[in-house]
Structure 1
Amino acid sequence: MTARPRLVHLVPPPNDPVDARGDWAVVETALGVRLPDDYKWLVEAYGWGEFGDVLYLRTPFGTNGRNGYNEHNGIEWQKAHPTDSAARDRERYPHPLHPAPGALLVWGATIDADRLCLLTAGAPEDWPVVVWSSEGWYETHPMGAAEFVERWTDGRLVSRLLASMEPDLAPWFNTFRPRTHRCLRLSESRFAHPVRLRLLREALAPTVDRGRWESDAEDEWQHHLATVDHDWLLTYEAPRPHTIRVDFPPEDADLILPRLLAAVRHMGCEVLQITTAAGIPLPDPDTAMHEQPAAPAAPHVSEHR
């Protein structure tokens, strides 16, 4: 089994990948190079998003400005913002940057701000992956982008620079898309927190683990999970008052609230308050999950502070 079917088996692609389709001929003309087929496959299968909250896949498509075109489009950003640092400091930057011949071309990034690059020397199908760390270190892997991601998700990639997934978690892919973020502050319950967590997962089943953190010194903990039937990401955490943080596609606003309220009742709790991610209270529970209208802009005051 080659890298592509292995990766699909390990991490099923999203049903509706974001920014995954476009005219590759236009992209390649703009870049002045032919891109490897395995990178094209990776983009078309998964689109814009992240593997395991660590590896970020960028695509050359998507101009709708949801999060800023150049912000997630690493290929075009690199071409639009050339730097001469690599040319000036060969010891610190051993590889030139695109569009120089045989240069590094960014195709992804990591949670630690490392860059995932292709070294564009030779035939495109032979381009190796170079990890360019945020601290200025380099690491070359003699494989294409798809095999690189497959080996990382399977725990077979040997790297001194990249973070690994927690060993007891199954790998996953999160699509980058518009999402609504809400916090539900909960009352106490007669149940201890491990029981409350189990009851929460029962009410939202099926769910999968996305990591956890617990403190031995104090009653502080975080449990991250995701629902299988819906693209809902949740964090159940303390200290008091314990809180459920959730983010979800805006189109699920009417669906998620009754499910969460039923889950909270199952846990023996009550919802004390629903807030935005920034902590702004939302007084109307019936509309709390919907995106709120933007506040009127403050009048401009020409004053230096």
Structure 2
Amino acid sequence: MTETAASLARFVTPPTVPVDARGDWPAGEAALGTRLPGDYRHLVAAYGWGEFCDYLRLHTPFGTSRYNGLAWQSGRRSGTAERDRERSPYPLHPAPGGLLIWGGTIDADRLCWLTTGTPDRWPVVVWSRDGRYETHPMGTAAFIEEWARGRVSSRLLADMEPGPAPWFTAFRPRLHRCLRLTEGPLDHERRLAILRDALAPTVDRGTWRSEQGDAGQDHFATVGTDWLLTYDMARPHQIRISFPPEDAPEAGRRLFAAVRRMRCEVTRISASRGEALPVWGAVATEDTPRET
């Protein structure tokens, strides 16, 4: 692993099972007509397809999802290549010195390489949805780490806010459940501690509180099983969880055991679009696993 990729992996823990992280690199690079940066190849192997801190997305050349893949290929498939060329601040690959898009943001900004010089020295270009752009003289791994540490000065990207250690979410099929709860006799902080202890080990993914302190959300994930949770403290009092489909029985068992320890009762179970379910194991139409 390159030094910059290893540094990022120490700062942001890679997933246990990365998605779309393996494939035929020589064939892909031959089809593309260029070698790709070494740090990017190591990032793909370590992280796969997914998102840093719910904001910055890393694409890979592998897999079959139409939402993944390097963006110049998607542009050709969707018929947007000509429009992209008109809006691009630089030529697009395969033109000499053109842009290759390796990722993006939830705000529809594009993260690119400016393919000048050798691949391991390609700088990163942020190309915003409204056509503005800025160049950062560093590679992919260094750029992601500097952004996650709050050290990238950008007019276009949202800042990484101070808070918990940064995280990475692998884009895999997930089921979604929401458990509406009674309040019970315990205060929120005690209930939260019980919930996290029942699902331990867990890692933070951010917290929000109202100015009055009477509403808020706690976001966290389980380590190893990769379940993503949001615990709403009031209006309504509920737990939202997403998990790989094969984990449904175990996730239900541990979550309902946690609710009992929290001295609450489940009043409603719903799926991702709000459809009420009679029991945990019921399957809603939108629960068919789909790409994120």
Verify same fold: TM over 0.5. Answer: yes
1: distance between equivalents of 2:206 and 2:89?
A: 37
Shift of 1:104: 0.9
After TM superposition, where is structure 1 displaced by more than 6 Å over at least 4 residues in a row?
none
1:192-222 Cα offsets, whole Å, 9 max, x none, are 2232222222222222221122222583311
Contact 2:51–2:171 under 8 Å retained in 1: yes
Code of the residue aligned with 1:228 in structure 2: it is V
Structure 2: how far apart are the matches of 1:72 and 1:178?
13
Partner of 1:14: 15
Paired position in structure 2 for 1:190: 185
Q: Give, in whole Å, the separation in 2 of the partners of 1:71 and 1:229.
A: 25
The answer to whether the 8 Å contact 2:180/2:237 transfers is yes
- Whether 2:92 is the aligned partner of 1:97: answer yes
| Inter-partner Cα distance in structure 2 for 1:125 and 1:237 | 44
1:59 equivalent in structure 2: 60
Q: How many matched pairs? A: 284
Q: Taking structure 2 as the reference length, what is the TM-score of the superposition?
A: 0.89
Counterpart contact for 1:274–1:281, Cα < 8 Å: yes
**Residue number in structure 1 paired with 2:231:** 236
- Per-residue deviation at 1:294? 7.1
Q: Where does residue 282 of structure 1 map in the other structure?
A: 277
Distance 1:14 1:294, change over 3 A: closer
Gaps of 5+ in 1: 64-68, 296-305
The normalised TM-score by structure 1 is: 0.86
Residue 260 of structure 2 corresponds to which residue in structure 1?
265
Moved more, 76-85 or 218-227: 76-85
Letter of the 2:180 partner, please give it.
R
Alignment of 1:74-223 (within 5 A): 74-80=71-77, 81-85=79-83, 88=86, 93-217=88-212, 219-223=214-218
Which deviations, in whole Å up to 9, do the C-alpha atoms of 1:244-285 show, x marking residues without a partner?
000011111111112111111111100111110111111134
Of 218, 222, 226, 2:221 maps to 226
- For residues 216 and 155 of structure 1, the distance between their equivalents in structure 2, rounded to whole angstroms, comes to 24
Alignment-derived partner of residue 290 in structure 2: none
In 2, distance between residues paired with 1:196 and 1:273? 18
Work out which of the two has the higher radius of gyration on C-alpha atoms and give 1 or 2.
1
CA 1:211/1:192 → structure 2, altered by over 3 Å: closer, same or farther?
Answer: same
Q: In structure 1, what residue type is equivalent to 2:81?
A: T
Q: Could you tell me whether the CA contact under 8 Å between 2:4 and 2:39 is conserved in 1?
A: no
Deviation, structure 1 residue 234: 0.6
